[in-house]
Structure formats: structure tokens, C-alpha cells
Chain A
Amino acid sequence: AQKVTQAQTEISVVEKEDVTLDCVYETRDTTYYLFWYKQPPSGELVFLIRRNSFDEQNEISGRYSWNFQKSTSSFNFTITASQVVDSAVYFCALSPPPGSARQLTFGSGTQLTVLP
């Protein structure tokens, strides 16, 4: 069975601070995908990143960066110089390898509030 744990329920930071959202996962698959989604108050889940289990290279996209560590089963997400528009619920998700049904297992989400 697959499981994703986001231990941080809520995080509040002041604008321009850096913030890291934690994600720990469990799976028996040797190949899998990890994702981060953002859910603003409008409700739509916005895709942020996908990471293959065999690619542990960290990735940076603008103010966003992701640290994937297979040894600790973690896929953490850092926002640098946070902005008020970053306020949202962020979900980490896990899926089985390609060829399998597209079933995402989500964490419980982290509510990020960025104060002006």
C-alpha cells in the first residue's frame, strides 16, 4: 500500500521568508512518481512538479525548489522569498509506475499562509 505523510498541517510565515514543506512517503514499488500540487481557495489543484523515483536530482524552478531523497523517502518543497500569492494548501502525492492505473495517493496537505 502507498502512503504519504505531510506532518505540517499549517504553516504561517511573513512575506519574503523561506519556507519548506515536508513530505514523507511509503511504497513497495521500486518505480514510482512523486508530485506536488497547489490548491488555492478556488479549489482547483494546480500541478507543480513530477519527480521520477530513479531521478534524485534536485530541481529549481524560479522561487520553488524540490529536494528528493530516496534514502529517507522524502520529497520536500521549498519556497524562497515567499509571497502572499503563495498562500494555499499544498499537497504531496505518490503514484505507481507507468502502465499502472493513474491512482494518486495524496498526503493530507499543508495549509501555507503568507502574511504581508
Chain B
Amino acid sequence: KAGVTQTPRYLIKTRGQQVTLSCSPISGHRSVSWYQQTPGQGLQFLFEYFSETQRNKGNFPGRFSGRQFSNSRSEMNVSTLELGDSALYLCASSLTSGGSSYEQYFGPGTRLTVT
């Protein structure tokens, strides 16, 4: 079974621009979560989508948004990029609630550099 895929893997943007990152979960997984990883703040939860609905959002400004499509693929968008948005953005997928399949499986990440 294919794992979580994220595109693009690397991205360089300029301050003020916006960016869209994509995540395709493991087949059959309906929950997609996004995390930001930086050297200073570590791994921080951004938001989770389940059945096209945002279930939870971390402590990030409104410039960070996301959505999920009917095929469970998810995108996150960052508008008006700031230098501090430079980070590794990780996507994770998991099965629906219930049972023992509560693990989140992570993709390889998108390395975003803002200049």
C-alpha cells in the first residue's frame, strides 16, 4: 500500500507570496493532519481534516488555512508568507475513529524556504 505523499518536496518562495502544499493520504484513510516543524518551535499541530471538515486547529494565525477534498486529499495554504514560515511541513493520515487504527502515518514533508 502506498504511503502518504506530499508535493512539492521543496519550495522556495518570497515574502508576501502565498503557497499551496498538497497531501495525499494512504488509501482508505480519511483523516489528514498537518504539522509544522521548525528548529525553534519543534513540531506543532496546524489542523486536522476529516470527511472534508476541519476538526481541530492549532495556534496559528489565519494566514494558515486548509481544505480536504472528497477523495481525502488535502491542501494547506499559507498566504502573505513571512520569513518565520520557513519550515518542514508534514502531513499525516489515519483511519477513521474507533478500533485500534489510531496511528498517524507521516509523509516525507515539504521543505518551504521563504526568502
A interface, CB within 8 angstroms of B = 33, 35, 37, 42-47, 50, 91, 95, 98-99, 101-109
Contact = CB atoms under 8 A, between A and B. Distances in A.
**B interface: dominant SS:** strand
B106 A45 contact: yes
Given A43-B90, A98-B98, 11 more contacts: A42-B108, A44-B108, A44-B109, A45-B92, A103-B33, A103-B58, A104-B35, A104-B45, A104-B104, A106-B44, A108-B42
Contact of A101 (B35, B44, B48, B105): B48
Most buried by B among A46, A98, A101: A101
Contacts of B102: 33, 50, 95, 98, 102
B107 A44 contact: yes
Interface in B35-93: 35, 42-45, 48, 50, 55-56, 58, 88, 90, 92
B3 to A, nearest CB: 9
Interface residues of B, number: 27
Interface of B: 31, 33, 35, 42-45, 48, 50, 55-56, 58, 88, 90, 92, 94, 97-98, 102-109, 111
B103 A43 contact: no
Contacts of A42: 108
